[in-house]
Homo-oligomer: A and B are copies of this chain.
Amino acid sequence: MAQHLSNVQEYKEFLDKFDVFLFDCDGVIWHGKNPIPQVKETLDLMRSMGKRLFFVSNNSTKSRQTYLKKITDLGIEANLNEIYPSAYSSAVYIKKVLKLPSDKKVFVFGEKGIEEELDEVGVAHIGGTDPSLNRNITSADMDTIRPDPSVGAVLCGMDTKLNYLKYCMAFQYIQDPNCAFLLTNQDSTFPTNGTFFPGSGAVSYPLIFSSGRTPKILGKPYGEMMDAIEAGVNFDRKRACFVGDRLNTDIQFAKNSGLGGSLLVLTGVNQLEHFQGKEDAIVPDYYIESLGHLAQAASL
């Protein structure tokens, strides 16, 4: 059963239980462009208590550098090796696990964050933000888009400039069973601007359904994300807590990774009715209305 953190004493006891906190960002620290009230103060308090903090996001549109800027622009202290977006874990996977040969490239169905991380690890890529693909498909395209042995992987993340041309290219490439089919994450929706829109997992579904292939998923709740984090840092998982807004990614990730705790915040996707009294629900260890509330523990 999930424990509700509802007063200053409980906030303090919760904070004392862990040395490391890992945070999802969208719906936890901010909504779109708006910071969630008092979250900065909570994170400042954690740092003052000597906690180690990591920012672990399934958002694939931002690279580590871009995430760092977004976080520090909100006045939150952070450094690059605390930041793990799925664009990063995906690039690490392609370089270190898939070991993509140097004569092969990745077709990116996604945005700049993925491209920047692939550049960082030295993997060639096409697609993505290529302006020549930002247009409607033509009949001539349908005559020429075919499998291409030089494309060793299709990596699919959120792309707000998606179009049928890019779907057709990605579809043809993954017709080749030697071409890996990768998703940065499988989130069905993402919270922004006070509502939800279709997420990265949703926009990848035309490729899953049309190809009949099962993609490898590189974000939360899967182990590849934890592998990417552990490549950079070491900590005692039993003294670490994941803080997120989504049961099937964040809270499941804490469980899959054997972390000591998981905290659901109610400022994002999931609410009490999504796990209370539900059979087979993913249940967090703790829940709180907002991460910002924990800042009140500073008064103790």
**Which A residues contact B (CB, under 8 angstroms)?**
32-33, 134, 136-137, 139, 142-143, 145-146, 159-164, 167-168, 171-172, 188-189, 192-199, 201-203, 205-210, 212
Contact = CB atoms under 8 A, between A and B. Distances in A.
B137 A160 contact: yes
B205 A208 contact: yes
Nearest to A162: B164
Contacts of A210: 188-189, 196-199, 202
A142 B192 contact: yes
Most chain B C-beta atoms within 10 Å of own C-beta, residue among A162, A194, A206: A206
Contacts of A189: 210
Given A137-B160, A192-B142, A202 B198 contact: no
A167 B205 CA distance: 13
Contact of A163 (B163, B193, B212): B163
B209 A197 contact: no
Contacts of A195: 142, 146, 172
Contacts of A198: 164, 167-168, 171, 206-207, 209-210
A212 B188 contact: yes
Nearest to A147: B195
6 tightest A-B contacts by CB?
A205-B205, A198-B210, A202-B210, A202-B206, A142-B193, A202-B209
A278 B183 CA distance: 31
Contact of A160 (B136, B194, B199): B136
Contacts of A161: 136, 163-164
A190 to B, nearest CB: 9
A212 B203 CA distance: 14
B167 A203 contact: yes
Contact of A159 (B164, B194, B197, B203): B164
